[in-house]
Amino acid sequence: MTIFGGILEYLGLIGALAGVVSVLKPLRLLGIRTRKSGLLVVGLGLLTFLAGTYLPVSETRVTTARTRLDEFVPVFQFGEFHSIQINAPKDRVDAAIRTVTPDEIRFFQTLTWIRRFGRPASGILNAPGRRPILDTFASGWFHVLADEPGREIVVGTGVVKDRPPHPRPAIAMNFRIEEVDAAHCTLTTETRVYVTGFHVLHGFAGYWRMIYPGSSLIRYEWLRAIQRRAEEATDTSIPGV
């Protein structure tokens, strides 16, 4: 529903914008010949946007905890998962996770500017380019919930383990290292969000479906930046390289 809902939202916004323009000057190339038709297109665009926002939202439940993230957010409605193979030992991967900076993540500053709709930045969206990005997480809205070097790091907000969910959104994200052998690892990152309240839930659904493409690109490029840093560190540690 995330991708389909996002498509509906973007189509609705584009249609509503075309209708607004046509109220001023009909866009005949789009078949809108009168201002009255422009108003109709505005209405249809808004209805399409609302349809994307209010699509059904389902819950995912983890019955058996296999990761630390499972312990903190076993129930969620929104999430994304990405993975990458890294030719480096787990200690190098762990160090890269902790030291990679926003400047190393392609499109990070541009996409986060778009994500906050040009508003003044705060929290992770205000990450200084040369400061390790996890440091910004820990000093902003997010807190380190679990830290097992060489295995898994979990950061989040609004999450209280072993207690009922908060009325505000609970958001958590992890980086998990799975060792393939002494020189190769699989690195995964997962984000989960749990929201309560009908209007809050669908309001967040509308937001999530709109930012999902950019958010996924940031996560992918974040993993790529960690991969580059870890593999470069491994290469320079080999005598003669």
- Strand-pair partners of 222: none
How far out from the chain centre does Cα 215 lie?
4
**Can you tell me the distance from the alpha carbon of 211 to that of 125, in angstroms, rounded to the nearest whole number?**
13
The yes-or-no verdict on residue 173 having pLDDT over 90 is yes
pLDDT value at residue 164: 47
Q: Considering only 41-45, 73-77, 106-110, which range has the smallest mean pLDDT?
A: 106-110
- pTM given for the model: 0.84
Q: What percent of the chain has pLDDT over 70?
A: 84
**Can you tell me the distance from the alpha carbon of 6 to that of 14, in angstroms, rounded to the nearest whole number?**
12
Tens of pLDDT, residue by residue over 123-148, are 455 555 678 988 877 776 788 999 99
The yes-or-no verdict on residue 228 having pLDDT over 70 is yes
* Residue 148 backbone class (left: φ over 0; alpha: ψ -120 to 50; beta: rest): beta
Structural domains of the chain ordered from first start: 2-53 (no CATH), 60-236 (3.30.530)
Give the highest mean pLDDT range of 80-84, 129-133, 153-157: 80-84
